[in-house]
Structure 1
Amino acid sequence: MAGLAPRVEYLAGFCCPLGGLAAGKPRVLCHGAEIFLSTGSELVYVYDRDGRLLTAVYKFPGRVWHLELLALGRALYVLCARSGIYCLSLDQASRNDRDDQDGEAGEPPAPVIPVDPGACVLPDATLCAFTVLDNVLVALAQGPAQWKLQLFERPCPGQDPRPGGQIGEVELSTCTPPSGSLGEPAAPCFLPVLCCASPPGPGVPHGHVQGSGGVTLEEALFGLLFGADASLLESPVILCGLPDGQLCCVVLKTLVTSRSAPGDPKALVKILHHLEEPVIFIGAVRTEPLAEATGDAHSDCLVALGHHGRTLAIKASWDEVGHLVPELREYCLPGPLLCAACGEGGRLYHSTPSDLCVAHLAQGGLPALLCPASLSVCSVVTLSAQPSGPAPRAHLSS
Structure 2
Amino acid sequence: MRSILNDFSLSAMVAGFVAVLIGFASSVAIVFQAAQAAGASEDIIVSWIMVLGIGMGATCFFLSLWYKTPVITAWSTPGAALLATSLGDVSYPEAIGVFIFAGLLGCLVGMSGLFDKLMNWVPLPIACAMLAGVLFQFGLSIFTSMAEDVFMVAIMLLVYLVAKRLMPRYAVLLVLLAGVMCVLGRSEQAVFSMIPMQFGQLIWVFPEWKLSALIGVGIPLFIVTMTSQNIPGVAVMRSSGYQTPVSPLISWTGLTSAVLAPAGGFAFNLAAITAAICSGDECHRDPKKRYVAGLSAGVFYLIAGLAGVSVVGLFAVFPASMVAALAGIALLGTIGMNLKTAMFEDSTRDAALITFLVTVSGVSFAGIASAFWGILFGIICLLISKLQWRVGKGKWN
TM-score by length of 2: 0.26
More helix by share: 2
TM-score by length of 1: 0.25
More strand by share: 1
